[in-house]
Every structure is written in C-alpha cells, then in structure tokens.
Amino acid sequence: MKKKISIILCVIFVMTLIAACAGGDGSYPAPAESMWYGNDSIELNAVAPAAPQAAPMPDMMVMSEAEYVAYDDSDMGRSGSLHEAGGAGITSVTAPVTDGFSEKIIYSVFAELETMRFDETIAGVHTLMANYGAFIESSSIGGVSSASKFYGWNEYRSAYFSIRVPKERLDAMTSSLDNLGNVTHINSNATNITSQFFDTQSRLNSLIIQEDRLLDMLAKAEDVPDLIMIEERLSDVRYQVESLTTTLNNWQNQVDYSTLTLSINEVEQFTERVEIHRSYWQQIGDGFLSTIRGIGRFFMNLFMWLIISAPVLIILAVVGVAALIIVRWKLRSIAKKKAENQNNQQS
C-alpha cells in the first residue's frame, strides 16, 4: 500500500514539473505586474514568470549627447526590431540635431534711423539683407495721407522692419547701418538660454526612451484593456515629445538667426549730434540760432498756410465786407428814422 502511494506521488510530482516547464517560456512579464513610467502605471494581466530586469537607465539629466547616442544604440535603445514590431502607423520622433554643448545665446539689436531719401533707404535695406543672407520677418511702411496732401501738412513717411540675420553676420550688418541714414539710437541685447535648452533636451531624450518601451509593450500586448492603456500613455508621451521638439527647434532658430529691428523716419534735416563739452557762450550761441531758426520756420509755415488757404480767405473776406456794408446801411437807416421822429416831435 505504501509503495502504491509513493508511486502515485512520484507521478504527480513529475507531471507538475512537466507542466511548469511547458508553461514557462518567459515571453511576458509576471502576472498582474505594474509597469511604472513617470507618475503613471500600466498594469498587465498576463500569467507568466517575471522577466529578467533590464539594465538600469543612466541619469538623463547629466548624459552628454555622445553618451545618449551610444546608449540609444544599446539593447534598451531604438533597435530596428522595436520599430518594426511597435504598433501600425506609429513613427518615431527624434530630437533636433544641435551643435554639441555650445552656448545658446539669442542676440537682438534695435536701431532708429533718420533719412532724407526715404525710397533710397528702403532699397538699401533690401540690398543689405541680400548681402548678409538676412530675411524680413515682418515689416510696415506708412505713407503720407490724402488729407495731409490736400491741406499741405508736413507729414513724413516711416518704416518698421524686423529682420532675421545669421548670428555670425549681425555685427557686420549693424555696422553698415550708417550707409542707410543717420543712426540716432541703437540698442543690443543678449539672452543666454543654455541651461533651459539642455534641460529641455534631456527631458526630450528621456521621453523618447519611454516611447520606445511603450512601443515594445504595445507590440507584445494581447488584451484589449492593456492595448488601450498603452496607446493612451503612448499618445501622451508623443504629444510631449512633439511639444518639446518644437520648443527646441524654435530656440535653435532664434540662436542661429539674430533679430535686427529697424525704425526708419523720413525727415527734412538730420538731428545734430551735440558735443558733450561746450562752453557757456557756445551754448548761448546754439540757443540763439535755434530761436532764429524757429522764428523763420514759423513765418515760413504761416506764409505757406496763407497761400494754401487763400481761396477760403478770399470768400470769407467777401462775406465779411458784405456783412459790414449791410450792418452800416442798417445803422444809417435806424439813425435817419430816429432823426425824423425827433423833428416831428419838435414841430
């Protein structure tokens, strides 16, 4: 009896081992294991032994681009098998190519110019852009209105240009602005975005690795709920990847092409550059000459106004003379009647 029980137990033990060996193909992670990525978890309901742990991922915040490329080509990186197996119609998004860890500085210059030859100056702006490989980002040109022409007002044209210039040619183009007219004001600015740029680059690299893992999981998932959860997470990751890629590309474009803003005004006479050190009598002389020029300009404008308004003034003069004649005639009539009344009372 004991021998029969021993034989039965041996048979059960052997069958259990055979069943375990047949089921343990290691094709999927452990049952009901939660896979964590960032702050989100994805629970996979597959029954299988736990898969071996992958190599630990290095800290992406301190990885160099060379290290990231080497890491990206490893067993955890973007292998061809992952992309071939990962979801239909899903393509990878790669980080923008940058020039290593060089400084990322955005330069901008603002300049105000005066010109007495407006059309030639505008043509000169386009010539400068062609010479230095620049292009117009936005522009605005204001002319003389029909009302100012009709009334003869002194109104001049103006122009505004926002120009993108290759950063290595910005200084040369700025130095050439004197050829366009009288530069009355110029201001330059530099913004260093190196830290923000490479912090964003590291976040993008980390998200790309998460995308690869999700693609791998999507290729192996069998249950519909798992597929839905993975695709939702993949969609969120891809949205972040595209957003950060756009931000990096915009920053790189601003770094590569500096902004030159020009404000051009048409004038009759250039603004004089005042000397810093002038004597007391020189200042008096400048003030006296300025007053004389102001008086002369006043009478010139007054004479111009009289000539332009002559037709209206003539009509007003005729109406005024006619009104004066009528008023005087009325007054004489009233005085005459008054005198007649007095004579009648006396008689």
Chain segment 28-44, per-residue pLDDT in tens = 333 333 333 333 333 33
**Cα(335)–Cα(338) distance, integer angstroms:** 5
Structure confidence at residue 251 (pLDDT): 94
Identify whether 25 is part of a domain: no
**Cα(61)–Cα(286) distance, integer angstroms:** 64
Structure confidence at residue 19 (pLDDT): 44
Identify whether 315 is part of a domain: yes
Which of 125, 104, 111, 110 has the alpha carbon at shortest distance from 167?
104
Answer for the pair 251, 197: CB distance below 8 angstroms, yes or no: yes
Answer for the pair 128, 173: CB distance below 8 angstroms, yes or no: yes
Interacting residues of 235 by C-beta distance below 8 A, sequence separation 6+:
none
Structure confidence at residue 42 (pLDDT): 38
Identify whether 205 is part of a domain: no
Identify whether 7 is part of a domain: no
How many other C-beta atoms are found inside a 10 Å radius of the C-beta of residue 161? 21
Taking the model in full, what pTM does it have?
Answer: 0.53
At 232-245, the pLDDT tens digits run 999 999 999 999 99
Identify whether 325 is part of a domain: yes
Structure confidence at residue 109 (pLDDT): 95
Identify whether 168 is part of a domain: no
Burial of 305 (0-12, 13-18, 19+ CB in 10 A): middle
Structure confidence at residue 259 (pLDDT): 95
Identify whether 298 is part of a domain: yes
Structure confidence at residue 274 (pLDDT): 58
Amino acid identity of residue 113, one-letter, is L
Q: What total of structural domains would you count in the chain?
A: 1
Domain interval for residue 314: 289-338
Structure confidence at residue 9 (pLDDT): 47
Q: Which contiguous run of DSSP H or E holds residue 338?
A: helix 310-346
Count H helices and E strands in the chain, helices first.
Answer: 10, 7
Interacting residues of 300 by C-beta distance below 8 A, sequence separation 6+:
none
Q: Which two tokens stand for residue 10?
A: 């041996």
Identify whether 314 is part of a domain: yes
pLDDT under 70: residue ranges of the chain: 1-101, 144-154, 272-276, 347
